[in-house]
Structure 1
Amino acid sequence: MKQAENIIVGISIGDLNGIGGEIILKTFEDPRMLDFCTPVIFASAKTMMFYKSHFKSQINFHSINNINQLAIGKVNVFNCWNEPVKIEFGVEDIKIGAYALKSLEAATKALKNADIHVLVTAPINKHNIQSEDFKFPGHTDYLAQELEGESLMFMVTDTLRVGLLTDHVPVKDIAIHITPELIEQKINTVYNSLKKDFKIQKPKIAVLGINPHTGDNGVIGSEDDNILRPTLQKIKEAGKLVYGPYAADSFFGSSNFKNFDAIIASYHDQGLIPFKTLSFGQGVNFTAGLSKVRTSPDHGTAYEIAGKGSADENSFKEAVFSAIHIFKNRSGYEQLTANPLKKSPRNERRKGLKPSSNK
């Protein structure tokens, strides 16, 4: 592969006492991964050497203190700190949370500066990372602040894509948050992502109801009839293929989800429980709607198995592949929309132009 085609993948280390280090090592122990990308792990060489020794890995790291020192085709470690860190697998530690934030901040800065092409985040502990500099329920909200765009948690596999109207919101507050403006914003974000990031020309989107049985004509709540239905009708009349609301309890069990390019759930568990049931270990969390590409595995720190060598790296590996795939799709889409006359030789002939030479 040409060096110019090698995507630079930034990786934030996540919670050092969790499984992040292990799944990163396992992912890049396969040398073929370096044919697809050049990884940059934002942590420290000392920390990664600890993981290498503990998990008996054969990876050779390239330690750098400046992004200009990056070596294409090697597993790079960007030193975000130099001091030794005491790692105790499975232990929640506020000091470890501070290192997770250092890694995330450095990786996000590199992403904003285009020093890396995409960002893949290893799992954080949402409690111990909280500080004066991080007051967010998770990665998604933090990145929404740091990067341009309207963020949306988009859980994806090759055959299933689930977005959320509300994500980390208490159940008692869900209906309050769902407004016509929010519904339109989230649907537009999903629609645009399907076209730009997944190369789907005419996206077909299903929306799940807010209440059980979508309210049963007002018997179990009025939000579906008063807010969701009229907003979806308005969006549909504007030309988007949007359908619903569907009763969530039977939607996935009946395999109706297979008829759509994406499903938008009203709240976190309504979407993530069926998604993880159908795809656990292969799913990817993609933050749609941002100016940059960020993905992560579909699981958490897994303290209960941390340090034991039994963590499954497949979801993290899929997150890397998805980030690369989405980045290439988005780059192609942006080139196409910026240069519409270059769509194809057929289009050039239609306009009386001589087809471009491939030489």
Structure 2
Amino acid sequence: MHITHNIPTRKEIEHLGVYVPGKPIEEVKRELGLERIAKLASNENPYGCSDLATQAMIREVGKASLYPEGTAPDLVEKLGAKLGVSKESIIVGNGSDEIIRLLTRSYISAGDEAIMADVTFPRYETNVQIEGGVPITVPLTNGVHDLASMLSRITSATKMIFICNPNNPTGTIVAAQELLSFIEQVPSHILVVIDEAYYEYVTDKTYLHTIPLLAKHSNLIILRTFSKIYGLAALRIGYGVMHPTIVQALIKVKEPFNTNRLAQAAAVASLEDESFAVQCAQRNEAGRTFLQAELAKLGLACYPSQANFLMVKLGEGRQGHDLFQALLAHGVIVRSGNLLGYADTIRVSIGTEQENEQFIHALQDIWG
């Protein structure tokens, strides 16, 4: 018997798209019957996580029947000591994307505006829309946030501004002095959310260090994650640093046990193995340099990335989706620019030396 369903959803979510993640390795193996797959689609750490994190997870498995501590106090204390901020200034989330959701849940009401780039991490826009807010999107300039234009879009309805730095998917950063000036010009009643998910990969010496600015700017929020450099993407754990009053507001609306025991233990252990993170950053820089040089030999340019991925401009009327499909047949998974806002691009994560070479060889094969 066929039963019709006619219960309407909230109008705010009627036209929302579904987030499309990078294609999983297992799915490609099943579909194409390939064994050697290079997944360069989701900006994951190709070197896994620290051995200390693995050992911490194994120890914590014995406590799987117990609920975790709701505010991850050990991790918060460790982060506070590392960053030089009070533990009351830190909140831990189920990935830093949960903190984005908590921010919009706490501070965005119907009709409120939130300013963001037109091509950036899509969860900013989605979460604003879910709360009935209005996303105000400002075009990037050569793949970089146009901070002057973002300032000009501030109105009496503006409640929040998002800046992804380095930006996903372009990998670009904004100039330090320009960002500092921007933060100083935004009215203090508007939240400025700086998403620094990829900041550990940055090698540009002019990159603005935002943590010291928290003492002066109570409307500043900094988001970071253990998913990238620390290789804990599967565990879903990230954190935000902000004024303690904002932390308390977010705690009111978060789930009681939003981060699990294994994630908390692994994150604490990861902070005790900074040499692992440093080594991953160095390998990433080498891979980034290699790919940029090899892509240039093929006549392909990239946005100037400071992250663990490159957004490659295909040119000549080429479509990212077509190249995505062609690379898939070679066992290389990337992200099509059609899904990211620039149809004539692909985004490729920087992998191991072997994976990077597999990607380049596949491109050479596809384009002769």
Bigger radius of gyration, 1 or 2? 1
Tell me which interval the TM-score lies in, with the shorter structure as reference length.
under 0.3
Q: Which has the higher contact order (CA 8 A, sep 6+)?
A: 2
Q: TM-score, normalised by structure 1?
A: 0.26
